Chains A and B, each alone.
Chain A
Amino acid sequence: MWYDTLIAPFAEFEFMRRALVGAVTLAFGAAPVGVFLMLRRMSLIGDAMAHAILPGAAVGFLLFGLSLAAMAGGGLVAGIIIAVGAGLIARATELKEDASLAAFFLISLALGVTIVSMKGSNIDLLHFLFGSVLAVDDPALLLIVGFVSVSLVALAVIWRPLVLECVDPGFLRSVSRAGGPVHVAFLALVVLNLVGGFQALGTLLAVGIMMLPAVTARFWARDITAMIAVAVGSAAFSGFAGLLISYHANMPSGPAIILVAGGLYLVSVVLGPAGGLLWRVLPGRHLEA
């Protein structure tokens, strides 16, 4: 019975296997980036960039139809523009960041929906917004795997200055000029992972697999490496469980994955050893020293 519930859907159906590989791969790419976004208090920027990709992908769709290359390319271009813009705004006018980002992503979302509606149907629109992880075919899978591989290598390369830029940017400035380029490179990684996740999860939810595992990990780890490990694990598990639930309960898969991720988050808020609510309510006896 366990086999039927947990393994059979993947053993029997190739599209399920591809979806699983895609979702787990995305977990490895998006979760570490999400941890850094959260630690740098850039969660909103991540969200804004996810929405910004939509008009870019929509333009690709408008010009070339459902071509993966066109949509991914358009998404990348739009994402980079927003990334640079958001980066500049953040450096120049700190106080207005919230407002201008809110404006940014509302405009992008509306623009993207409009462009898609010009040529596509409601189904296309739903796919853009919520993804169709079950429709991930070989080219799409290659795209995801390719992007995530690049992302992981790049993250390893910029790891040290990235951590230092988060925790003590003044010190980084005094020992190295890598701060500025690393910041931009990091934003590019966010865009890369969002475009990678766009086909599977859609523009509204792609950032979910980035942020939800990250905030979940906050409640389990006090060290960045452990945090990333927990985030990746919870993102991968969300992919696995979300696909199973959508299969058995006949629900859309993208939202199911994000719901599992959200459920893990809620459980962690209560039970997580690092600041979970339960441990505040039942503190237990304090230590000797």
Chain B
Amino acid sequence: MGEQLRFRDLTLGYDRHPAVHHLNGVVEAGALMAVVGPNGAGKSTLFKGVVGVIKPLAGRIERIGIRPQDIAYLPQAAEIDRSFPISVYDMVAMGLWHKKGLFGGIGRGDHDSIEAAIAAVGLTGFEQRPIGTLSGGQMQRMLFARLLLQDARVIVLDEPFNAIDARTAADLLALVRRWHAERRTVLAAMHDLELVKANFPQALLLAREPVAWGPTPEVLTAENWTKARRMCEAFDEQAQACAVEAA
């Protein structure tokens, strides 16, 4: 299938403090990979780097055969203004931006796709509701419907199942499995290890520095977790410049 994302000695961070430190590795096209680690381990930072929101402090992220528009991103805390008077339907329809751009109209076929996406996440009947009236789980479902319409080859989900009920999580995981069957690459930052073991064949355990990367059962061992927990959460204000040279 081939490589899709390659991290070369990647360091990402803020204000010169690394949040992801010297990461090397490859994500294959069509992979279904969970990124796990303690709080502050760099999961969100890594995803922001993959999506292009932040630039590396050192090293590189190589995107092979995909453009930025081919990546769909669900951030951890979306900066969505819930008080804005927009309906669920219109919000989901924004997923068609890649096809429609600034001015393209929404035709009959598009309407059907939008309805299908809304149905796929179990929100039929919610089309005209203002987004401010949705619960957390319903909001997450709506954002997944938008992701569906984006039809992206790479989907990056940052802690998508935080604070939502088990049934919603199960429904949305079914969508993730469907994406995997459609040979899309899916990366998800996860805290629930049971979900990871049950649904994700690959995992990356990150604790600022990569601890383990590979098939999930090999990564999620007690030994690896002990190593990960030794990572210090706070940035070191007294730190010197990093002496590790690039390979």
Contact = CB atoms under 8 A, between A and B. Distances in A.
A168 B80 contact: yes
Nearest to B75: A170
A214 to B, nearest CB: 12
Nearest to A226: B85
B242 interface: no
A175 B79 contact: no
B102 A160 contact: yes
Contacts of B73: 174
Given A160-B103, A163-B86, A170-B75, A175 B80 contact: no
Contact of B98 (A168, A173, A175, A227): A175
Q: Which of B69, B101, B102 has the most CB of A within 10 A?
A: B102
Interface stretch (A49-57, A217-225, A234-242): A217-225
A176 B85 contact: no
Interface residues of A, number: 22
B94 interface: yes
Interface in A61-81: none
B215 to A, nearest CB: 30
Contact of B97 (A169, A170, A175, A224): A175
B75 A164 contact: no
A167 B98 CA distance: 18
A279 interface: no
Q: Which of A164, A168, A173, A227 has the most CB of B within 10 A?
A: A168
B52 to A, nearest CB: 8
A168 B87 contact: no
Nearest to B130: A222
A111 interface: no
B198 interface: no
A6 interface: no
A255 to B, nearest CB: 30
Interface in B139-179: 146, 150
Nearest to B69: A175
Contacts of A221: 85
Contact of A167 (B51, B53, B80, B97): B80
Given A170-B79, A176-B97, A161 B102 contact: yes
A204 interface: no
Nearest to B72: A174
Interface in B219-237: none
B102 A39 contact: no
Contacts of B69: 175
B239 interface: no
Contact of A168 (B51, B53, B81, B130): B81
A175 B147 CA distance: 12
Nearest to A224: B85
A217 to B, nearest CB: 10
Contacts of A171: 78, 94, 146
A174 B102 contact: no
Given A160-B102, A174-B51, A175-B98, A169 B79 contact: yes
B27 interface: no
B91 interface: yes
A178 interface: yes
B85 A39 contact: yes
A60 B127 CA distance: 52
Contacts of B80: 167-168
Contacts of A169: 79
Nearest to B104: A160
Interface of A: 39, 157, 160-161, 163-164, 166-171, 173-176, 178, 221-224, 227
Interface of B: 51, 53, 69, 71-73, 75, 78-81, 83-87, 91, 94, 97-98, 101-103, 130-131, 146, 150
Given A39-B84, A168-B78, A168-B81, 15 more contacts: A166-B81, A167-B80, A167-B131, A169-B79, A173-B53, A174-B53, A174-B71, A174-B72, A175-B98, A175-B150, A176-B97, A176-B102, A223-B85, A223-B130, A227-B85
15 contacts: A39-B84, A157-B103, A160-B103, A167-B81, A168-B79, A168-B94, A169-B79, A173-B53, A174-B71, A174-B72, A175-B69, A175-B150, A176-B97, A222-B130, A223-B87
